[in-house]
Amino acid sequence: MSSYCVIGSGISGATIANLLSKKNSVHIYDKARGPGGRSSFKRLNKSKGFDHGAQYISPKTIHFKKFITNLRKKKILKKWGGKHVFLHKLKKENKNHVKIIGCKGNNDISKHLIKNINCNFQSELEKIKYIKNKWKLDFNNNQTKYYDKLILTCPFPQLKKLTKKFIKDPFIKQKIKMDANITVMIEIKKTNKNISSYLFNDKILGWAAKENSKKRFKSNNDLWTLQSTSLWANKKINKNRENKEKNSKILIDQFFKLTGIKKTKILTSLNHGWKYSSNSRSLKIKSYWNNKLNLGVCADWFVGPRVEAGWISANDLFKKIYK
């Protein structure tokens, strides 16, 4: 039985780990506090929280649709109903656009896939070496681990830094620019507007989702997740930590202005910057596998910006490993 180390517990990491775990020993390491990657769920308490990464899933391919349908039958996922307001003038609204979300949070897919796998969180991979057919992995918590095979699912800039001595494939030399996103999560007094989400036609604010509309919790207040446009975030992301209050205020003010909701006191405000949120341009390959080094890479950025892209990449890698 081979020992695999999978770095990352987002949709790509969780999927490949689940597939490999049926015949191998698999351990997952993630720098975050919990699973989900860019489909993370930020909790305010045991019940209330925000989908501060991927907002929903809208499956396109036949195989992914079957996968999602199965999870809906198991009541892991559900349809997100309500009124979704489409205000973007440059994009055409798809009336058949189904929005699927996790019953408890949008990291539910990852949680389901890795429920029986050994997971190590708050463990950031800092350095890798290949010694005597084993991967030596050094983590930020002073841990060193050895594995037969290594799967990386990190964003492209981080992958390039880790693997510059090992990956010689042409894809690693490409200029892949991943877009940023700045997300602000707010809690305000309840309003009379019965809206589930807004897609804006704006240079700063791209999206707003009312968490209450997902019917996961009851609250006397309204919880909203506000997500910037990539155009605005790309300019602000490098100094977002220093300018959290300023950037949050810009997005919040824009939210009240564009929705017409009466400006009210902000009861809670959280800011999260995604430096490497997504890659909108697909590569010629869907994943990478080096049989000699037992090194693999799968991630959504191979295929596109959607959650589905990460799942497609992971399945493609699994096929390459067992080809």
| Domain ranges for the chain | 3-76+104-175+280-321, 179-278
How far apart CA 298 and CA 318 sit, in angstroms, is 9
The DSSP code for 279 is -
Separation of CA 217 from chain center? 22
pLDDT band at 323 (very low <50, low <70, confident <90, very high): confident
Q: Give the pLDDT confidence of 109-167 residue by residue, as tens digits.
A: 999 999 999 999 999 999 999 999 999 999 999 999 999 999 999 999 999 999 999 99
The proportion of the chain whose per-residue pLDDT surpasses 70, expressed as a percent, equals: 97
How far apart CA 195 and CA 166 sit, in angstroms, is 50
Q: Give the pLDDT confidence of 239-259 residue by residue, as tens digits.
A: 999 999 999 999 999 999 999
How far apart CA 252 and CA 263 sit, in angstroms, is 9
Cα distance between the two ends of the chain: 17
Q: Give the pLDDT confidence of 44-99 residue by residue, as tens digits.
A: 988 899 999 999 999 999 999 999 999 999 999 999 999 999 887 666 656 667 89
| Nearest partner of 11 among 30, 28, 36, 34, judged by Cα | 36
Fold of 3-76+104-175+280-321: FAD/NAD(P)-binding domain (3.50.50)
Fold of 179-278: Polyamine Oxidase; Chain A, domain 2 (3.90.660)
184, amino acid identity: V
Cβ-Cβ contacts under 8 Å for 263 (sequence gap 6 or more): 253, 256
What is the longest distance spanned by two Cα atoms in the chain?
65
CA 44 vs CA 50, 67, 92, 228, 268: distances in Å: 8, 30, 35, 21, 9
